[in-house]
Amino acid sequence: MSAPPGPLTHMSSIDRISPLPVTDVAWRYYDLAKSRVQIHEAPAPGEVFLWLVPSEFRFASASNIGNWLSPAERKRTRLHPNSALGRRFSVARATLRLVLSHMFHCEPHEVGVEDEPDDRIVVTHPHDDGPVHVDVAYSGIWIVVAVASARIGLGLTVESTGAHDAAARQSMWDEAARIGKSRAQRGDTDADTDADWHGLTLPMPGGICGVLVLDKPVARVQAFGWERPLEAEGNAAAS
């Protein structure tokens, strides 16, 4: 995968987003299974929770999917014209319900998840501590789940074969940021929003370019399922 773009922290609603590199934000890396014991509350301001999940995530078993998904979600899975993509959706939705249930202290099937136009997902919960925004995006076998108190949008693109020059690589990151901003703006009734958009580069596997766009600054990330960078491993060993 090519190196991420250079650092610019924010943009207006009409300017280009330049995502923050991973190193400009405090990341904490966990195994996927650790979300059960690490996540007990919704994200605080400036905090993002991220999951990188393969389509065959073992915690999203057939039994769990059957018990956790709503009737409409199970029907969507069953009637999908591509069985592999249907399975991917069911794993993604089961994972989303699982992680949100830890935050809301309820069972996965009790989490309120509504599908709105343009793939927008609206989550309702019994607490009055402020909104929780989520987004789910796909690339190949990979599922990315993002949860924050800010409005968010995930943008994923795949590097073209042989696109080794800097301009081509930057174009892919720009497109990922554009997609992320468009997704973050879904459901916005004010087309000329004054949001100050921020982009965060995601360390995706393979040739995937990933950018998370938010309407608030991000200071820390709790990341589940990502490969821990060598420098992070060294810091953990020294602590």
What pLDDT digit, counting tens, does each position of 145-191 carry? Answer: 999 999 999 999 997 765 567 787 788 889 999 999 999 998 776 55
Q: How confident is the model at residue 9 (pLDDT cuts 50, 70, 90)?
A: very low
Task: Please determine, for residue 29, whether its predicted confidence score (pLDDT) is greater than 90.
Answer: yes
> Which pLDDT belongs to residue 139?
94
CA distances from 149 to 143, 183, 209, 216, 223 (A): 20, 15, 24, 9, 16
Residue 4 lies inside a defined structural domain of this protein: no
Q: Is 181 domain-assigned? A: no
Residue 50 lies in a domain: yes
pLDDT of residue 222: 95
Do the domain assignments include residue 133? yes
For 146, the enclosing helix (H) or strand (E) is strand 142-148
pLDDT bucket at 15, cuts 50 / 70 / 90? very low
- Residue 198 in any domain: the answer is no
Model pLDDT, residue 5: 43
> Taking 90 as the threshold, does the pLDDT of residue 52 lie above it?
yes
Instruction: State both tokens at 160.
Output: 């073209």
Q: Indicate the average pLDDT of the chain.
A: 81
Confidence (pLDDT) at 168: 79
Does some domain include residue 178?
Answer: no
Tally of domains within the chain: 1
Residue 142 covered by a domain: yes
pLDDT digits (tens, 9 = 90+) for 89-120: 999 999 999 999 989 988 898 999 998 888 89
pLDDT at 11 over 90: no
CATH assignment at residue 109: 3.90.470.20
- C-alpha span between 57 and 137 (Å, rounded): 15
Domain that holds residue 125: 26-156+216-238
Domain-located, residue 164: no
Beta-carbon neighbour count of residue 7 at 10 Å? 13
